C-alpha cells in the first residue's frame, strides 16, 4: 500500500503569517452585541434624515388635519352663497374673497380638502387591496392562472384610466357620489399595482425562507400570506404612495369636466371649473383652489419619492 501523509510535495509549501503580523482591522470587527436590524428599520433611519420626507410629511399631516377638522379653520358654510358678494375681494373673515356666485373661496378651499383626500385615500386602499391580491395570486401559482390574470391585466392596461373613467361616468350620470368616482378610478387603477405585486411575488417565492417553510409542512396559501406577501410589500407601498396624488388629480380633472362629483359637493376641481369663466377679470378665484391642489399632489409625490429611495437597497448603500 502507498503511504499517504499530509506532508506537502516539494514546491507546494504554504506560508501562513503569524496572527500578530496580520491584525484584524476595524472594518473586520463585528459588534455581536448590536441588535439585529430589518429593512424597515433601515428605511426609517434613512427617512428620518431625508429633508424631502420631513417637509412632505409635515405638509401631508397639515392637509389631513384640515380635511378631518375643517371647522377649526373656518365657521363659514361653503355652500352659502350671496350674489351681493359676487367677485368681492378680501374682507375680514373672508381672506380669499368671493367667487362669481358669492361663495366664500377660503371656506370652499378648506372644505374641498376633505373631498380630494377622501377620494385619493379610498381609491388607493381599494387599488392596493385588489391589485395586490390579483398580482400575488398570478405570481405565486403561475401556469394557466398567471396566464389568465396577466391577460386580464393587459386588457385593462390598454385602457387609459382617465378616458375609461370618463366613459363609465358618462354611462351612469343619473347618480353622482364620491363612492362612484372612487370605484370608477379603482376599476382602471389596480393594474399597475397588480403588475408590481406579481413581479415582487415572483422574486420572493423562490427564496430560501419559502423553501424552508414548505419543508416544515406549511401550506401554499399560508406561505403566500404569511411569508411571501410581507416580504413583497415594499414596492407595493411605494407605488401606492406615489399613485395617491394621481388619483386626487384624476378626481379634480373629472370634476373640472363636469362628470365627476355633483355640484353640491365642494371640490377643488369643481371650483376650478367654475372659476375659468372669470379667469381674465378675477384670476385669484381660480388661483387658490389650484394652489391647494398643486401643493397636496406635490406633497404626496415627494413622499412617494422619499419612500422609494428609502426602500431601495441600491439607493441606501450608494
Structure confidence at residue 182 (pLDDT)? 92
pLDDT for residue 22:
56
In angstroms, the Cα distances linking 82 to 13, 74, 98 are 100, 17, 9
Q: The dihedral of CA 39, 45, 51, 57: what is its sign?
A: positive
The number of CA neighbours under 13 Å toward the Cβ of 199 is 8
Q: What pLDDT was estimated at residue 318?
A: 46
At residue 219, the pLDDT reads: 76
Q: Domains in the chain, please, with CATH? A: 57-71+96-309 (1.10.3720.10)
Model confidence pTM above 0.85: no
**Three-class secondary structure assignment of 136-191:** HHHHHHCHHHHHHHHHHHHHHHCCCHHHHHHHHHHHCCCCCCHHHHHHHHHHHHHH
CA distances from 84 to 19, 64, 88, 96, 109 (A): 92, 33, 9, 16, 20
CB atoms within 10 A of CB 287: 15
For cell 410589500, name the residue. 233
Residue 103 phi, psi (nearest 5) = -85, 150
pLDDT in tens, the chain (318 residues): 445 555 666 666 665 656 565 555 555 555 555 555 667 777 888 888 889 999 999 999 999 999 999 989 988 889 888 888 888 888 888 899 888 888 999 999 999 999 989 999 999 999 999 999 999 999 888 889 889 998 999 888 888 888 889 888 888 776 668 888 999 999 999 999 999 999 888 888 777 777 777 777 777 777 778 878 888 888 888 888 888 989 999 999 998 888 888 888 888 988 998 888 888 888 888 899 999 999 999 999 999 888 888 886 555 544
Query: Residue 162 and residue 264: Cα distance in Å, rounded?
Result: 22
How high is the pLDDT of residue 279? 82
Amino acid at each position: 500500500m502507498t503511504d499517504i501523509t499530509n506532508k506537502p510535495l516539494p514546491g507546494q509549501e504554504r506560508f501562513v503569517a503569524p496572527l500578530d503580523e496580520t491584525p484584524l482591522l476595524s472594518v473586520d470587527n463585528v459588534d455581536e452585541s448590536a441588535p439585529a436590524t430589518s429593512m424597515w428599520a433601515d428605511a426609517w433611519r434613512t427617512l428620518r434624515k431625508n429633508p424631502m420626507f420631513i417637509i412632505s410629511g409635515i405638509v401631508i399631516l397639515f392637509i389631513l388635519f384640515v380635511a378631518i377638522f375643517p371647522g377649526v379653520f373656518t365657521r363659514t358654510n361653503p355652500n352659502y352663497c350671496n350674489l351681493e358678494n359676487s367677485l368681492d375681494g378680501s374682507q375680514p373673515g373672508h381672506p380669499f374673497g368671493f367667487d362669481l356666485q358669492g361663495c366664500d373661496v377660503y371656506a370652499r378651499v378648506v372644505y374641498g380638502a376633505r373631498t380630494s383626500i377622501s377620494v385619493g385615500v379610498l381609491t388607493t386602499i381599494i387599488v392596493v387591496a385588489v391589485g395586490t391580491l390579483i398580482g400575488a395570486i398570478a405570481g405565486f401559482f403561475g401556469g394557466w392562472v398567471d396566464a389568465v390574470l396577466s391577460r386580464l391585466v393587459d386588457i385593462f392596461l390598454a385602457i387609459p384610466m382617465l378616458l375609461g373613467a370618463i366613459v363609465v361616468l358618462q354611462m351612469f350620470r343619473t347618480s353622482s357620489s364620491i363612492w362612484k368616482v372612487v370605484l370608477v378610478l379603482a376599476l382602471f387603477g389596480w393594474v399597475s399595482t397588480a403588475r408590481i405585486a406579481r413581479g415582487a411575488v415572483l422574486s420572493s417565492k423562490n427564496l430560501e425562507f419559502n423553501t424552508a417553510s414548505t419543508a416544515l409542512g406549511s401550506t401554499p396559501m399560508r406561505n403566500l400570506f404569511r411569508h411571501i406577501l410581507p416580504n413583497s410589500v415594499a414596492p407595493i407601498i411605494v407605488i401606492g404612495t406615489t399613485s395617491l396624488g394621481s388619483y386626487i388629480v384624476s378626481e379634480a380633472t373629472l370634476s373640472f369636466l363636469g362628470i365627476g362629483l355633483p355640484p353640491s359637493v365642494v371640490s377643488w376641481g369643481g371650483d376650478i371649473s367654475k372659476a375659468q369663466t372669470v379667469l381674465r377679470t378675477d384670476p385669484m378665484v381660480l388661483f387658490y383652489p389650484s394652489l391647494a391642489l398643486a401643493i397636496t399632489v406635490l406633497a404626496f409625490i415627494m413622499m412617494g419619492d422619499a419612500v422609494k429611495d428609502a426602500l431601495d437597497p441600491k439607493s441606501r448603500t450608494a
